[in-house]
Copies of this chain bind each other. A is one copy, B any other.
Amino acid sequence: MTGTDRLPSAILGASGYIGQHFARLLADHPLFEPPLLLGGERSEGQRLDELWQLVEEPPAELTREHFRRLSPAQLQRAGVRIVFGALPSGLAGAVEAECRRRGIHVFTNAADHRMDPDVPLLVPEVNAAHLRALAAGSRHRALLVTNPNCTATGLVLALAPVWTLLRPEAVHVTTFQALSGAGFPGVASLSITDNVVPYIPHEEEKVSAESNRILGTARNGRIRPTRVPFVANCARVAVRDGHLEAVTVVSRRRPSTADLRKAWTAFDPLRRVELPTAPHPPIEVRSQMDRPQPARDRWAGRPDRARGMAAVVGRVRWDPPYLRFFVLSHNAVRGGAGGSVLNAELAAALGLLSQGERGPS
């Protein structure tokens, strides 16, 4: 696939917070055509810039595009080959399944299909093998690939490089989650100004189930999750973007501090694959005592197209059996729209996006 035959694309739920991040990332993407913006009753007919909510600038290429209401059947007829999913969980599942049925690839941030046995829950640097394994045995005409919950994303990225070194007995994680994780309007300002809210519905359960699935192994076309307790406490803080997580791994092994550090700094499994949105390195380790910080580190990631895609690790303290550190990642980019874009890039690089091309039978 070359830049000259980019895949026709669309964004499901383009008017929401994650949908707009998709628009920002896909406006000038080398593999995908500028996306159709799909909205609901309220956004139909309006222009992207009229409903723009992010503090980042709306993408020049799409600013004057209008939201449309199109069914999966209409998308199929319009020749759309790939959709990016930003519909609210609950609403998303049926639409996504229907798209797949019609031969349209789906890469989605919604939670509905994350635990389906035949759907990859994918973080390319961590479990690319899951994509290969599940795609190989798939009976579907098109791919349906999910990215994990924003909190699980940063967590598994930070854990993956040290996972086998530590063979964890348990992982304790407490989160400082950003406002944009709840989208827009999301958290009321009176709820969070001068405050912390120690509860995010279903978040702790998702972190545990999804992390175990992602860190699991693919065998015979099935994913066998790990069975490590992820003991989570999730809270919301008055920060715009960037989920910070305090992680303590209870380790079964005792690697040296140098080995741990090297595991993180040398980690770059995608270095030989050319994925436009992949950050190199995917994990940035800070040496300052007081990092990572949301305000300073949320946009980590190089090159420019990968801004907000790197996880930032800092304050590493290793008192065996306890490894403690903080990790930060941009919840709406790495843990949202950017995650699914990267997933689609990986699928393209593996040649998996041509399988839907046959069109309707």
Interface residues of A (CB under 8 A from B): 17, 53, 55, 172, 174, 176, 179-180, 184-199, 229, 231, 233, 235, 237-240, 244, 246, 248, 289-296, 314-315, 322, 324, 326
Contacts and interface: CB of A to CB of B under 8 A. Distances in A.
Contacts of A244: 196, 198, 235
Contact of A248 (B185, B190, B231, B292): B231
Nearest to A188: B185
Nearest to A324: B233
Contact of A196 (B176, B188, B194): B176
Contacts of A187: 188-190
A212 B49 CA distance: 38
Contacts of A193: 179, 189, 192-194, 238-240, 295
B55 A196 contact: no
Contacts of A237: 176, 196, 237-238
Given A190-B179, A233-B324, A199 B290 contact: yes
Contacts of A235: 176, 244, 246, 326
Say whether chain A's binding surface is mostly helix, strand, loop, or mixed: mixed
Contacts of A53: 190
Closest 5 CB pairs of A and B: A174-B174, A233-B246, A185-B188, A195-B295, A199-B290
A179 B189 contact: yes
Nearest to A229: B322
B231 A324 contact: yes
Nearest to A187: B189
A108 to B, nearest CB: 22
Contact of A199 (B17, B180, B186, B289): B289
Contacts of A195: 239, 293-296
Given A237-B237, A238-B238, A292 B198 contact: yes
A180 B176 contact: no
Contacts of A238: 189, 193-194, 237-239
A292 B289 CA distance: 29
Most buried by B among A55, A189, A244: A189
A199 B291 CA distance: 8
20 contacts: A55-B295, A172-B172, A172-B248, A174-B174, A176-B196, A179-B189, A179-B190, A179-B193, A180-B190, A188-B189, A193-B240, A194-B238, A194-B240, A197-B290, A198-B246, A235-B246, A235-B326, A237-B237, A237-B238, A238-B238
Contact of A294 (B194, B292, B314): B194
Nearest to A238: B238
Given A172-B248, A187-B189, A244-B235, A196 B324 contact: no
A41 B22 CA distance: 38
A231 B189 contact: no
A210 B220 CA distance: 52
A199 B293 CA distance: 10
Given A187-B190, A199-B290, A233-B326, 20 more contacts: A172-B248, A185-B190, A186-B188, A186-B189, A190-B240, A193-B238, A193-B240, A194-B295, A198-B246, A198-B290, A198-B291, A198-B326, A199-B315, A229-B322, A231-B324, A233-B246, A235-B246, A235-B326, A238-B239, A240-B295
A196 B239 contact: yes
